[in-house]
């Protein structure tokens, strides 16, 4: 008996069945199999016990074995977790202080915008995050406890309270500080979004605030285009001083418990540490004397800072290399 | 012969199915990763023009596209000082490559509607270098009315 030939219709049905079954099999295998094993990350180093170095490179987050972060900019931490604004991923990355990735929180795009561009963030008193989204010209409140929820716009009022072109944010004790480049202002809000006051500067106002850092009774303002960092006295809301040194595009600021002021200089590719009065620089790193600097410890474009007093470590986003670089710093105050 | 034809069909079916499965797998895997941002001379210039047109005052944003940090700061300061009543540059035609090597490139921007921008040249040629995988502007030359505008290279 001659074998039967296959009709075109039957062939199409067979092809479709094979495709559907094959796709289902692949989907099943992809969903079933555990995520690709993460390469073991290099633990963060500590300063050698016999070292006299003031600063040492502890390592990077993600480590050299892991993929780089897509344009990490703003950084904040609550003592347990680090939150980093990933501008090119429209997301917030969450890490432990030892560098273990915990989750990635998407930041939804504003109405009419194709994407969001988170550039800075601050942790509010209830654990939510205030996120500066430059693509949406807004500040968004994102809840890490409910990462799938769309954020709520912060301070979306009118008149003087309206946020037009935010560039930086910080928060402390229920108060939120936001820099707006549309009028060179820095404003203080309640966490509810209610405007309390606008800080006053000796002219000229900053044209671009690269970072804000509130520490105790002082608000530090990175006046990036003017190569300076301004201190604002929170009791009066007025400028009270300037760090006594010209800086190479100052961005992130962090303050130690003893009052030392650390400034990230993006163009200077370094961290300058000032004494508590801001009158003199007591340390600069990374440099040749920085322990472990040969292991990718130099900075290319440092942006944002988080100082961990308990671990005596400084966390620095290095935008061009897509990492959070971590430095041990010996505080002798 | 007919039997052979059937077997051929069988081989063909298997090959086609395998191709489809691989294509599906590639598609699924492709969806799981965000594509990397492309860096090429023309898109670098387009980004630079857009920043300037929007009067960005962020020097670090300019610095991602310009090799000289001081120039990035100057552009940011200029944007802050200008009046916001009128755009800082005319509109432009789509930039194009007029010269390229592995490490250098020239991109031409032809300006449109220059009537309101006194002294603006008909076109500008931007010289770029590939610095660590990123195309950055290292120089710019005005092309005046008396000069020929470089042509596009394919």
Q: pLDDT tens-digit profile of A41-75? A: 778 999 988 888 999 999 999 998 899 999 999 99
* Mean per-residue pLDDT over chain A, rounded: 90
Facing residue for A224 by CB, picked from B13, B34, B59: B59
Q: What is the pLDDT of residues A222-278, one digit of tens each?
A: 999 999 999 999 999 999 999 988 899 999 999 999 999 999 999 999 999 999 999
Count Cβ neighbours within 10 Å for each residue of A264-282 and write b for 16 or more, e otherwise: bbbbbbbbbbbbeebeebe
Name every residue whose Cβ is closer than 8 Å to that of residue A150 and which is 6 or more positions away in sequence.
A108
Peptide bond preceding A220: is omega within 30 degrees of 0, i.e. cis?
Answer: no
Facing residue for A26 by CB, picked from B3, B28, B77: B28
The string of DSSP letters for A96-163 reads ETT--EEEEEE-PPPTT-SS--EEEEEE-TTS-EEEEETTTTEEEEE-TTSTTSPPEESS--SGGG--
pLDDT band at B119 (very low <50, low <70, confident <90, very high): confident
Whether the Cβ atoms of residue A209 and residue A181 lie closer than 8 Å to each other: yes
Contacts with A6 from chain B: Cβ below 8 Å: 6, 9
Q: Is the pLDDT of residue B29 over 70?
A: no
Q: What is the pLDDT of residues A123-138, one digit of tens each?
A: 999 999 999 999 999 9
Q: What is the pLDDT of residues A146-164, one digit of tens each?
A: 988 888 899 766 777 789 9
Instruction: Return the pLDDT at A32.
Output: 52
Q: Is the pLDDT of residue B1 over 80?
A: no
A174/chain B closest Cα distance in angstroms: 28
Facing residue for B13 by CB, picked from A3, A14, A248: A14
Tell me which of A7, A9, A181 to substitute to probe the interface with B (most B C-beta atoms closer than 10 Å).
A181
d(C-alpha A57, C-alpha A54), whole Å: 11
pTM: 0.81
B145/chain A closest Cα distance in angstroms: 35
Q: Could you tell me which residues of chain A have a Cβ less than 8 Å from any Cβ in chain B?
A: 2-3, 5-6, 11, 14-15, 18-19, 22-23, 25-27, 30, 70, 88-89, 167, 181, 184, 207-208, 210, 224-225, 227, 248-249, 251, 266-267, 301, 303, 319
The arithmetic mean of pLDDT across residues A275-288, rounded, is 95
Model-level ipTM above the cut of 0.85: no
Facing residue for B34 by CB, picked from A11, A23, A89: A89
d(C-alpha B26, C-alpha B3), whole Å: 34
Instruction: Return the pLDDT at A30.
Output: 52
CB spacing of A5 vs B58 below 8 angstroms: no
Q: Is the pLDDT of residue B38 over 50?
A: no
| The dihedral sign for the CA sequence A129, A124, A152, B58 | negative
Instruction: Return the pLDDT at A39.
Output: 58
Contacts with A11 from chain B: Cβ below 8 Å: 9, 13
Residue A271 is inside which H or E element, if any? strand A270-274
Name every residue whose Cβ is closer than 8 Å to that of residue A78 and which is 6 or more positions away in sequence.
A123, A127
Name the percent of chain A lying above pLDDT 90: 75
CB spacing of B6 vs A301 below 8 angstroms: no
Q: What is the pLDDT of residues A95-129, one digit of tens each?
A: 999 999 999 999 999 989 999 999 999 999 999 99
B63/chain A closest Cα distance in angstroms: 9
Q: How many CA atoms lie within 13 A of B138 on its CB side?
A: 11
Q: Is the pLDDT of residue A293 over 80?
A: yes
Instruction: Return the pLDDT at A5.
Output: 58
Count Cβ neighbours within 10 Å for each residue of A308-328 and write b for 16 or more, e otherwise: beebbbbbbbbbbbbbbbbbb
Instruction: Return the pLDDT at B87.
Output: 87
Name the percent of chain B lying above pLDDT 70: 75
Tell me which of A19, A227, A302 to substitute to probe the interface with B (most B C-beta atoms closer than 10 Å).
A19
Whether the Cβ atoms of residue B57 and residue A223 lie closer than 8 Å to each other: no
Instruction: Return the pLDDT at A9.
Output: 73
**Residue bearing the bigger pLDDT, B11 or A12:** A12
d(C-alpha B149, C-alpha B93), whole Å: 13
Q: Is the pLDDT of residue B33 over 90?
A: no
């Amino acid at each position: 008996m001659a074998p039967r030939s296959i009709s075109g219709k039957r062939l199409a049905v067979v092809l479709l069945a094979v495709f559907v079954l094959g796709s289902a099999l692949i989907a099943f295998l992809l969903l079933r199999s555990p995520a690709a094993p993460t390469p073991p990350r290099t633990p963060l180093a500590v300063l050698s016990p016999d070292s006299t170095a003031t600063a040492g490179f502890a390592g990077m987050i993600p480590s050299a074995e892991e993929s780089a972060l897509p344009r990490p900019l703003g950084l904040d931490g609550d003592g347990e977790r680090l939150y980093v604004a990933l501008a090119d991923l429209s997301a917030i990355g969450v890490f432990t202080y030892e560098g273990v990735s915990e989750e990635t929180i998407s930041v939804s795009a504003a109405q009419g915008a194709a994407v969001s561009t988170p550039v800075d963030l601050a942790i509010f008193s209830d654990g939510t995050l205030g996120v500066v989204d430059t693509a949406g010209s807004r500040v968004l409140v994102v809840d890490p406890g409910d990462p799938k929820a769309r954020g709520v716009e912060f301070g979306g009022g009118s008149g003087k309270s309206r946020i037009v072109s935010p560039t930086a944010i910080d928060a402390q004790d229920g108060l939120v500080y936001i820099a707006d480049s549309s009028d060179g202002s820095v404003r203080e809000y309640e966490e509810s979004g209610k405007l309390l006051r606008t800080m006053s500067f000796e002219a000229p106002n900053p044209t671009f605030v690269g970072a804000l850092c509130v520490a105790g009774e002082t608000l530090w303002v990175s006046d990036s285009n003017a190569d300076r960092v301004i201190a604002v006295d929170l009791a009066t809301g007025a400028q009270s001083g300037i760090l006594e040194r010209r800086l190479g595009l100052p961005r992130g600021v962090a303050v130690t418990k003893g009052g030392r002021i650390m400034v990230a200089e993006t163009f200077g590719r370094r961290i300058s540490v000032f004494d508590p009065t801001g009158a003199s620089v007591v340390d600069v790193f990374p440099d040749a004397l920085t322990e472990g600097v040969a292991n990718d410890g130099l900075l290319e474009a440092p942006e944002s800072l988080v100082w961990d007093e308990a671990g005596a470590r400084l966390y620095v986003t290095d935008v061009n290399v897509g990492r959070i670089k971590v430095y041990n710093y010996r505080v002798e105050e | 012969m007919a039997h052979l034809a059937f077997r051929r069909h069988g081989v063909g079916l298997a090959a086609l199915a395998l191709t489809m499965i691989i294509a599906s797998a590639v598609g699924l895997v492709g969806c799981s990763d965000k594509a990397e941002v492309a860096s090429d001379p023309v898109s670098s210039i387009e980004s630079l023009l857009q920043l300037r047109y929007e009067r960005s005052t962020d020097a670090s944003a300019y610095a991602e596209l310009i090799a000289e940090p001081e120039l990035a700061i100057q552009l940011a300061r200029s944007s802050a000082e200008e009046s916001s009543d009128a755009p800082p540059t005319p509109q432009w035609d789509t930039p194009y490559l007029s010269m390229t090597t592995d490490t250098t490139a020239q991109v031409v921007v032809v300006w449109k509607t220059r009537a309101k921008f006194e002294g603006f040249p008909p076109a500008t040629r931007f010289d770029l270098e590939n610095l660590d995988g990123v195309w950055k502007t290292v120089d710019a030359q005005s092309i005046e009315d008396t000069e020929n505008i470089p042509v596009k290279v394919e």
